[in-house]
Amino acid sequence: MNEVSRNATVAESADTGRTFYTMLVSEGIKARLIAPSPLPPADVIELESGDWGRCGQQAGAQGWRWAGAWAEDRGSHLAMNAGLEKHGRYLILRTALPADNPALPSQAPHYWAADRVERHIQDLFGIRFIDHPDPKRWTRHRAWEETVHPLRKHFPADGTPSSPTPPDNDYPFLKAQGASVYEIPVGPVHAGIIEPGHFRFQAVGETVLHLEERLGYVHKGIEKIAEGRDPRGLVRLAGRVSGDTTVGHAWAACMAMERAAKVEIPSRAAYIRGLLAERERIGNHLLDLGALCNDVGFAAGYYQFGRLRELWLRENQALFGHRLMMDVLIPGGVTVDVSPETVRRMRDSAASLRRELDELLPILDANSSLEDRFLTTGVLSVDLASALGALGYVGRASGRSFDVRRDAPYPPYDRLNVRVPVETQGDVASRFWVRYKELRAGLRLIEQILTGLPPGDLSAQWQTPAENAEGLGAVEGWRGEILCYVRFGAHGRISRYYPRDPSIINWPALEKLVMGNIVPDFPVCNKSVNGSYSGHDL
């Protein structure tokens, strides 16, 4: 999208929050549009708690995408927030609840994506969601008593450990029924080195009838241990939400805090952040392409993509001090500059990787084993991807082109030509080729960034934000849209931090796309989605 068309799109959608507010009022919903917004550029609408579910129903009917939700313990009451997006504009719904016996109409009947997020909030804050279609526990793996809610302020960060947590062996999975239907439990401990997650299949023969996921085994308490940190400490923590997305999560946290503190970072710092993000995207796509080849026994592709990724990561180490570029972002900017020699080296490595990809393309395209295992496997239809709100390469392989860099642009992407590859078949092959095309698009963006890299400082002077200042960050990580909410407490310390990894939205897609496939195709279906366990298990 060029600058003129991008500006036109933003102008057309500039009043979407106000338009939605007007519609709510016309429907008899008690609402208040807060002006000026405390979370620019997002609009904020306050609601009566009883209208929460009805508002979600209206938002779904109006084409708003459900993007995430978080609660806060404000002492005298609990605050509930939900984020929506439409045409690149963000809208925050907000309501207040009593701290004792809080209850709220669920938005899950209107948005699939709200299901597990509301259950997470129910477990950790004690908010009961009325009419939730599946209200069983989610994050609570018997680690706390039913009356204990770890994200309330009075709960200590180190918990109250007394004995090892008992196994969660009475979790109410859907039971297999019918002649010849049987169950296959997989995980949470796996034969490889992936993180723990449980998958409960129901199958007839080798055909999958149903898959139910159980996650949360590596819940780290990220939201709790963020409380009381200073801004630099929060960015370090954010970079560890999901280690393969350290740049993406750190950037989202920085953006949220910088907006809260009204700090504008230098242009050079923004360009370097973009450079780091595209390098992170390319390194991870190289890994995934190789792993997908490996899952169907195409060893040559696995070796070649693995070799290319290793070269890429070694260059990260040489240029930025860490293979995954961890701890390079700080509030207000970055810590590492890009010298002329670094520019030359990255231009050379980008050109080299492009040549290698050109050589690999005909080999991949003509390989009958890849075609046999990828085509028509694990299909996520366009309609189902839209209903789930699928993000990143999962959504783009099923016709959803949303990309924060293009549709809600932030520096430096507001000055770059961002191409977003889209497929519509929705199968493993589409998710493979979208990744491949994103490699090429990422290399083009790196060249644009290196060409347009402005002079200037690497960071801005940090300004301590006022107590209760809040900010919202949205960046396009390599898996898709990352959202981050931050509220400051006294003395510039963090009171609330909520990161929403795209995996939280995309994990349910795996349950849908594997149905009707054979059990042996589950590994390649799973890898084609490649949800982050750590990014989910906050």
Q: 272 near 332, Cβ under 8 Å?
A: no
Place of tokens 């309609």: 383
Say what the pLDDT of residue 525 is.
96
Contacts of 535 (CB under 8 A, 6+ apart): 241, 242, 245, 249, 479, 501, 502, 503, 504
In a 3-state reduction of DSSP, which class is residue 481? strand
Look at the block and give the residue holding tokens 């191409």.
419
Supply the pLDDT for residue 14: 54
Give the pair of three-digit tokens for residue 398: 């099923």
Ordered by where they begin, the domains of the chain are 3-130 (3.30.460.80), 181-214 (no CATH), 236-503 (1.10.645.10)
pLDDT (tens digit per residue) in 20-74: 999 999 999 999 999 999 999 999 999 999 999 999 999 999 999 999 999 999 9
Q: Give the H or E element holding residue 228.
A: none
What the block records as the tokens of 102 is: 């809080």
- Contact at 8 Å (CB) between 420 and 399? no
What residues are paired with 86 via a beta bridge? 89
Pairing verdict, β 198-204 and 181-186: antiparallel
Backbone angles phi, psi at 113, to 5 degrees: -65, -20
Q: Which residues of the chain have pLDDT under 70?
A: 1-15
pLDDT in tens, 457-499: 999 999 999 999 999 999 999 999 999 999 999 999 999 999 9
Alpha carbon distance, N-terminus to C-terminus of the chain = 35
Question: How far is the C-alpha of 251 from the C-alpha of 269, rounded, in Å?
Answer: 11
| 264's tokens | 């504008």
d(CA 95, CA 73) in angstroms, rounded, equals 12
CB 225 within 8 A of CB 158: no
- Judge whether 385 and 399 are in contact, CB under 8 Å: yes
The residue whose two tokens read 């992170």 is 280
What are the C-alpha distances in Å from 473 to residues 90, 365, 484, 485?
10, 38, 5, 6
- Model pTM score: 0.93
pLDDT of res. 218: 86
CB burial of 264-301 (b: ≥16 within 10 Å; e: otherwise) equals ebbbbbbbbbbbbbbbbbbbbbbbbbbbbbbbbebeeb
3-state SS, residue 369: helix
- Give the pLDDT confidence score for residue 12 in this predicted structure: 46
Q: Rounded distance, CA 511 to CA 74, Å?
A: 36
The DSSP annotation for 450-470 comes to HHH---S-SBPPP-PPPTT-E
Cα 191–Cα 192–Cα 195 angle in degrees, nearest 5: 105
Distance of CA 476 to the CA centre of its chain: 8
Residues in the chain: 538
Q: Both tokens of residue 33?
A: 């549009």
